[in-house]
Amino acid sequence: MADKKAFPLRISAEVYAAVQRLADAELRSVNVQMEVLLREALKRRGVDVRGEEK
């Protein structure tokens, strides 16, 4: 299993609510939904999560 890193995150209530709605619609937890969104954003910017940049 992959290592997980816990850290505090401060976001606006509006952004949290939007992520919660999306997570609910996709049957995910907010935590998993945040990771999915971060991975998608990194991919769009050409950043490989494994540490290799394009």
Mean pLDDT per 10-residue section of the chain, whose length is 54 residues: 85 97 98 96 92 59
pLDDT given at position 54: 56
> How remote is the C-alpha of 30 from its chain's centroid?
9
pLDDT given at position 43: 94
pLDDT given at position 49: 86
Return d(Cα 1, Cα 8) in angstroms, integer.
22
pLDDT given at position 4: 86
pLDDT given at position 38: 95
